Structure 1
Amino acid sequence: MNAKKHSTLDHALDNYSTADFLLSDHFVNHQLEPTPETALLWETWLAGNPPNRHEWDRAVYLLESIRLGLSHYAGQVISEEAIEALLARIRETNRQYSVPVRSIGRVRWMAAAVVLVLSGLLAYWWHGRHDSESYYAERMAGLQSKYTERVNRSRAVETIVLSDSSVVRLAPGSRISFNPSWDGASRVVYLSGEADFEVTRDIRKPFLVYANEVVTRVLGTQFTVRAFDAEGKVLVNVKSGQVSVSKDDVPEKGNVQDASGLLLLPNQQAVFSRRSEEFSKSIVSEPRVIGVENEMPSFEYDAVPVTRVIGDLEKAYGISILYNREQLKNCELSASLKTETFEEKLRVICTTINADYQKLDGQVVIHGGECR
């Protein structure tokens, strides 16, 4: 995808704002009615224009907040027809102003202000709900007093060391509850907000994190869970080891073995949409090397078979890369890739062999390629 395919995104590639995306009919249509084709096009465009990723993520969050808030509100006050009408008006507004964003001036900022005010009102409505409607509050109401709660009201990350030596880094505005003695069959933690976990391995007692509608189950690993009540998604990001995530249907039983979900490996993440109640799996935005440093490949190549280079990437980052071995068997690479990121390494490889790649379901798929 390139900027010419976006009538409202045809100015400097590194200078898009959240409002620019929200005013793009292509962006809104993809968020409301995504298809595999539009997902691939947007992911390819973002990969080629990385400075825009942050503003893209903000625009996705704002639009998802609007959709989630309207969905919940409909069950109490307004009809589904009214919601559809509002979403249709968003699309229609974008069509009416399908001109270069930098040139629409006052109209651009008025439209952006409408979206931001609406999302702000929805956030206020979320926070203003009675605590009994919060997943975390519901769980806490049913727990015994032996659970300890820690709340991070500061502006810095708070480090908590649990009795099994597991470490929790609790983000500002987050709270967590746990049983200090771990006297049950599993180590159960309840989270509202965001936290990084470094779990001490214990095969006898799995470690369970309940956060909104999602339960994350591990034996020992490093991962991050983000699940704020006001957000429309739950994110689980794996740094090392493996994690299983599933929908939390029976939190009081602490048993998720029969629940359907996803298995996540290092450098993979799962996003649970609270609106559609569906999981999606992908590669994290910035994969990091996961192996032991002295066992890592040098990433220095002089006429080395591309198949070996791809194998080095898989070993270093733990990410599966699918490609046609027969088609690439005669390809070689001469390059230094010591300082490049995972994404940059992939681009160098694909440029060398005249191929392209796609990130799909937590893996990389290399398409094409030819060497003589």
Structure 2
Amino acid sequence: MDKEKLDNFFRGRLSDSEQQQVKDWIASQGEGWVDAYMQEHWDNVEFPAAPGQKENMKEKVLLHLPDRERSIKWINLLKVAAVFLLAAAGYWWWKLVQRPPAPEWHIVSNEGTGHQILKDTLPDGSVVILNEHSQIRYASTYNKKNRTVELTGEAFFEVTHDKARPFIVKAGQVETRVYGTAFSITAYPASGQLRVGLQRGSIGVSYDTSHTAPEKMLVPGQLLIYNKSNNTASIENQTPDKVEAWTTGKLVFYKTPVNDVFLQLEQRYDVHFRYDNSLGDKTITATFDGAPLEKVLQHISFVWNIHFRQHGDSIDVR
């Protein structure tokens, strides 16, 4: 085939009869020739082209090939597609077979019957002490890549040191990362605060929901108080022995809002407090060792001039 005629064909300068003659010749050469010709000539400066025009031109040429040539082309494409679909199906079947099963959850719960403290040992040897109406749960993958537990309520942890597998406690929005230590967390859902107290060792506490702020590092004798309402926290000093005092059955309040005091008294003495929001930001700092409810209420009444009237298991606050 004359090169000049081929060039004029791609420029669209031939008569109908000449175009058909060139089409028949291209069909006899096959699709591979079209690719080779395009590769050799398209980028010549005499053939300026818009993006994608090269591919469009090739498709137009192939579209005008005789039916036999086009049939071979589509059969080959279908073969490739079939191989691809089989490979994809095999891949997803392999992924389904290889996907690990969802982890099972182990739950340790203290329902609070008889005001008992519950002690349990985790798979790595760490010890947890649960206050009444408290619960932890951890996945069956615990102690493999990490050691993560989820807490509701109040717990004291004595953690076995393992630098390769961090010990993490998740309680609401707060995450505590442990570096081998003994500490306490109070995280009752109905409470307006969440507290983390460190007895010994070192811990880092995160409460920033955006996960951009650095951990708050605590040293022994420090208490982090997180306020749920405004996502802020403060750090107070507290003697280390107070951190686990509640594990012996004591009631321990340290700058605890009166509302949260009432919540703990409800759990301990099986009563219900009825009050409005006039209590404001009053707090209580006191420790009660086996004291009856009446003595606790007398102390609160003396400190804040709050009056109580009991009717069965309900207590009105004024």
> Which of 1 and 2 has greater Rg?
2
TM-score w.r.t. the length of structure 1 is: 0.36
Instruction: Name which structure has the greater RCO, CA cutoff 8 Å, separation 6+.
Output: 1
* Higher share of residues assigned strand: 2
